[in-house]
Amino acid sequence: MSAKGSYPQLSRPRSEKSPPTPGLSTGCRDAHSYSSTRPLRLSPMGEWTTAELRGQGLSKDAIRRKVREGKLFRVHRGIYTDEWTPWAVARALAHGLSRIHFTGKTAQEIYLGRQLTFPLEAEGPRTLKGKNFRVSHSRLQATHNVNGLPVVQPLWAARRISRACRPLLEEHYRGKHGPGRLETDRRRMRRVPRSLKETIRHAAIGADSPPERTLSRKLRTEGIFPEHNALIAGYRFDLRIGRLLVEVDGWEYHKHSVAFQADRSKQNAAVAHGYTVLRFTADDIKYHLSEAILLIKATLEVLKGRNPELPTSAAQPYWKWHLCVRHLPQ
């Protein structure tokens, strides 16, 4: 029995070229011309249901034989693929169970462009469990397609892996519009699980670059929760913590003359508006993250009118402590 009785079927495999008439075979003329002396050739990277294979002239015994020979792999009842990889199995499931959408760990891998891994996780109208995949019952409507695979939208997918979804959240809600899009999705979700709220709180939502995210994550472990891409005097600043602004400068972008000018103009504007500005390079974050954290914490204390002990980075010239330059001649 074909699994297409479980869910409404897709009209054809995703991302496949139109096969020659009458079906998915590249070596058969039609079902009536098939002969046991002329083996059926299936197109590479294909996924089929039992009905589609039978329509190509394969009998039940022929299908079983191809499975034994390793030319076909049975994914689930009535669903087959010609390659046993997580990607091929995901495509086969999406083809045979068209109302499922991948979620959790699998959705995160799809969104981040990572290699898919077993077990695959999906949501659908019925609970199903097979070899290396599980479909959980859901009537969720927040779904769309990514690279030809049906996927639950990021915030909803994150519910399934709420303690491991930070990479997904930080990537999907990056940039100046990230925080706003996250807030919109949170309102759509209505009830955000507590564990997911905690992960969001410790994620660098709105950060643009890996060094910014690294700095933000470390600050959050210290109980400091910066705002990213803060808008001050018409300029965007990487992090804002109260009246303190923090910029993390990458070499590639900030080496250009326009960026050089912008850096100084925006800093002058921020200072004129009553802010203190700290600037770090990507190398500061890579090699001296702890020093950057200490300097930020000390500066926050200074802004409160206190007299903290200053870290090495503020008490000694950079050539005496920075790993990138301390061996250069003075």
Band of pLDDT at residue 269, cut at 50, 70 and 90: very high
| Residue with more model confidence, 154 or 10 | 154
Hey, what CATH topology would domain 210-320 get? Endonuclease; Chain A (3.40.960)
The pLDDT, as a whole number, for residue 42 is 57
Query: Mind listing the pLDDT tens digit for each residue in 141-198?
Result: 899 999 999 999 999 999 999 999 999 999 999 999 999 999 999 999 999 999 999 9
Band of pLDDT at residue 1, cut at 50, 70 and 90: very low
Q: What is the mean pLDDT of the chain?
A: 88
Closest to 217 (Cα-Cα) out of 229, 202, 195, 197? 202
Question: Do residues 108 and 162 make contact, with C-beta atoms less than 8 angstroms apart?
Answer: no
What's the half-sphere exposure (Cβ side, CA atoms, 13 Å) at 179? 15
Percent of the chain with pLDDT over 70: 83
The pLDDT, as a whole number, for residue 141 is 86
Percent of the chain with pLDDT over 90: 78
The yes-or-no verdict on residue 34 having pLDDT over 60 is: no
Band of pLDDT at residue 255, cut at 50, 70 and 90: low
User: What's the first-to-final CA gap in the chain, in angstroms?
Assistant: 80
Band of pLDDT at residue 250, cut at 50, 70 and 90: confident
The pLDDT, as a whole number, for residue 325 is 85
Query: Which pair of structure tokens corresponds to residue 167?
Result: 């990479």
Q: Which of 37-51, 105-119, 149-163, 304-318 has the lowest mean pLDDT?
A: 37-51
The pLDDT, as a whole number, for residue 20 is 39
The pLDDT, as a whole number, for residue 18 is 38
The pLDDT, as a whole number, for residue 24 is 34
The pLDDT, as a whole number, for residue 43 is 52
User: What are the angstrom distances between the C-alpha of 117 and each of 23, 108, 156, 158, 176?
Assistant: 30, 11, 20, 17, 32
The yes-or-no verdict on residue 11 having pLDDT over 50 is: no
State the average pLDDT over residues 308-325: 95
Chain position carrying tokens 């992960």: 199
Considering the chain, tell me which residue range(s) the CATH 3.40.960.10 domain(s) occupy: 210-320
Closest to 168 (Cα-Cα) out of 111, 232, 124, 114? 111
CB atoms within 10 A of CB 266: 19
The pLDDT, as a whole number, for residue 15 is 41
Query: Mind listing the pLDDT tens digit for each residue in 288-300?
Result: 999 999 999 999 9
Q: Where are the alpha helices (DSSP H) in 239-281?
A: 251-254, 257-272
State the average pLDDT over residues 221-246: 98
Report the predicted TM-score, pTM, of the whole model to 2 decimal places.
Answer: 0.81
The yes-or-no verdict on residue 252 having pLDDT over 70 is: no
Q: Which of 28-32, 222-226, 255-259 has the lowest mean pLDDT?
A: 28-32
The pLDDT, as a whole number, for residue 44 is 52
